[in-house]
């Protein structure tokens, strides 16, 4: 709550910098409050004939200034002008760019907009290069060890001093690291494959399933299984580790199916409560129900990813990243369906599900990557010794004792 009120205390302050935590905690707080207000309005039957939630709209009007203020300060924190927020006006691509910007870590040391809000100085500790202070922090693709390199103008060959792995790195102005690009591709694959499987199940079984409380969870679980499988197997595939690929594939499918069933049921219950109160449900009500359901789906996919990675940090940031990605996709899905011409419903659904896949995969990856660059100790704290050990712990030798959660699972021997 302190982060939320910290933003409100700077109601119209557009100068200075705002950390990633400050921005996302304020955004998450607003989403929760708006959802609660919409549920209260739906249950109480307040202004059911209107096109949108009156209470949520009034709340949105009240926080629009502090939101844009903290968004501008977030741009300042990564060394960019607040005018970069205009990227959000570009459909789909602009949203992805803003997502990458807001998930990026603070620029080291002071910049022209002010001091680092986290109090971190600008020195790169792992570089022996005299230009290290002008460098950027990157992660090894194999061991995830942080290193500093001079900001390159073109693709360069980088050698990790810890494990000796060599890989190509090219700086991207939009903050896309090689890892982010890979998970962007994974999200696209998951979205397309999941949509195809969902449509097959829809055509084959829609007429046989009478209850929407069964139909919605079953169909969404097919998509979630694909998303979980791709997200789970991605790390093993990118590392060329067949054993880890198969392990991630199996856990991803199982947890994906469960995630889809649970989130689909929640979404359908919300649909019944929120949309059943009015004869002709509005776009806002559809968006509310879908956002809550997909936020839950992203949260559960993030949970499965954290368990598969077997560290308390991956669990924590997987939950946060998954929930953020699911909420973003839920907000965008129905407007996409409206924008794409009538008669192209399959295309609009596929675009919407691809956005969901991208948002969840990229959000989880970015939160994980930023945590590793910040040397968060929980990224090296094992959940349970009964689960396969994360390769990051084996390659860096930083493995800590099993976390308290892991001990409850029977992880400590």
- pLDDT: is 147 or 302 the higher one? 302
Residues in CB range of 240: below 8 A, 6 or more apart: none
Rounded to an integer, the average pLDDT of 335-360 is: 69
Q: Which two tokens stand for residue 52?
A: 């949108």
DSSP string, 333-391: HHHHHHHSPTT-HHHHHHHHHHHHHHHHHHHHHHHHHHHHHTT-GGGGBBS-TTSPPPH
The pLDDT, as a whole number, for residue 199 is: 80
Q: Tokens 């499965």 belong to which residue?
A: 304
Q: What is the chain's alpha carbon radius of gyration, rounded to the nearest angstrom? A: 22
- Is-contact 127 90, C-beta < 8 A? no
The pLDDT, as a whole number, for residue 131 is: 37
- pTM equals 0.62
Rounded to an integer, the average pLDDT of 228-257 is: 86
Rounded to an integer, the average pLDDT of 312-332 is: 84
Half-sphere exposure (CA, 13 Å, Cβ side) for 136?
19
- Is-contact 393 346, C-beta < 8 A? no
Helical segments of 170-241, H only: 178-205, 212-239
User: Is 60 exceeded by the pLDDT of residue 41?
Assistant: yes
- pLDDT: is 84 or 290 the higher one? 84
CA distance 17 to 7: 11
Strands 135-139 and 146-150, by their bridges, are: antiparallel
- Is-contact 158 177, C-beta < 8 A? no
Tens of pLDDT along 155-192? Answer: 778 888 777 777 777 766 555 677 777 888 888 888 88
Tens of pLDDT along 248-271? Answer: 898 889 988 888 888 888 877 777
The pLDDT, as a whole number, for residue 410 is: 42
User: Is 50 exceeded by the pLDDT of residue 319?
Assistant: yes
Tens of pLDDT along 269-297? Answer: 777 776 665 566 666 667 777 787 788 88
Strands 156-159 and 135-139, by their bridges, are: unpaired
- β-bridge partners, 156: 169
Tens of pLDDT along 365-393? Answer: 888 887 887 778 888 888 888 888 887 77
Which one, of 66, 77, 76, lies nearest residue 27 by Cα?
Answer: 66
- β-bridge partners, 158: 167
The pLDDT, as a whole number, for residue 351 is: 76
Domain ranges of the chain: 2-89, 132-169, 178-408
Residue 60 banded pLDDT, cuts 50, 70, 90? confident
Query: What's the gap between Cα 31 and its chain centre?
Result: 15
| Backbone φ and ψ of 285, nearest 5° | -70, -40
- Is-contact 300 259, C-beta < 8 A? yes
User: Is 50 exceeded by the pLDDT of residue 122?
Assistant: no
């Amino acid at each position: 709550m302190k982060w939320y009120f910290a933003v409100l205390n700077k109601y119209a302050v557009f100068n200075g910098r705002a950390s990633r935590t400050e921005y996302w905690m304020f955004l998450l707080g607003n989403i929760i409050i708006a959802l609660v207000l919409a549920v209260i309005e739906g249950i109480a039957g307040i202004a059911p004939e209107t096109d949108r939630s009156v209470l949520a709209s009034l709340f949105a009007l009240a926080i629009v200034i502090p939101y844009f203020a903290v968004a501008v300060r977030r741009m300042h924190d990564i060394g960019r002008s607040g005018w970069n927020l205009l990227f959000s006006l570009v459909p789909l691509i602009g949203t992805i760019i803003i997502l990458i910007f807001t998930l990026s870590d603070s620029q080291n040391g002071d910049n022209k907009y002010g001091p680092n809000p986290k109090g971190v100085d600008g020195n790169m500790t792992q570089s022996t290069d005299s230009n290290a202070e002008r460098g950027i922090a990157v992660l090894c693709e194999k061991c995830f060890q942080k290193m500093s390199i001079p900001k390159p103008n073109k693709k360069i060959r980088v050698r990790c001093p810890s494990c000796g792995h060599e890989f190509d790195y090219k700086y991207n102005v939009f903050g896309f690291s090689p890892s982010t690009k890979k998970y962007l591709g994974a999200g696209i694959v998951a979205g397309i494959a999941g949509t195809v499987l969902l449509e097959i199940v829809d055509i084959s079984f829609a007429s046989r399933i009478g209850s929407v409380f069964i139909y919605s969870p079953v169909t969404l679980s097919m998509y979630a299984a694909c998303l979980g499988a791709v997200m789970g197997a991605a790390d093993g595939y990118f590392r060329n580790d067949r054993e880890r690929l198969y392990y991630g594939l199996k856990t991803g499918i199982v947890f994906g199916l469960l995630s889809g069933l649970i989130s689909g049921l929640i979404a359908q219950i919300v649909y019944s409560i929120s949309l059943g109160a009015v004869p002709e449900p509005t776009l806002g009500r559809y968006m509310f129900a879908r956002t809550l359901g997909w936020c839950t789906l992203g949260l559960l996919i993030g949970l499965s990813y954290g368990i598969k990675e077997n560290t308390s940090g991956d669990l924590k940031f997987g939950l946060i990243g998954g929930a953020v990605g699911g909420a973003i996709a839920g907000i965008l899905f129905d407007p996409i369906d409206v924008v794409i011409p009538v008669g192209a419903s399959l295309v609009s659904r596929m675009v919407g599900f691809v956005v969901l896949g991208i948002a969840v995969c990229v959000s989880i990856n970015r939160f994980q990557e930023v945590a590793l660059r910040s040397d968060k100790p929980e990224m090296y704290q094992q959940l349970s010794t009964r689960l396969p050990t994360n390769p990051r712990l084996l390659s860096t030798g930083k493995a800590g004792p099993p976390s308290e959660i892991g001990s409850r699972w029977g992880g400590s021997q």
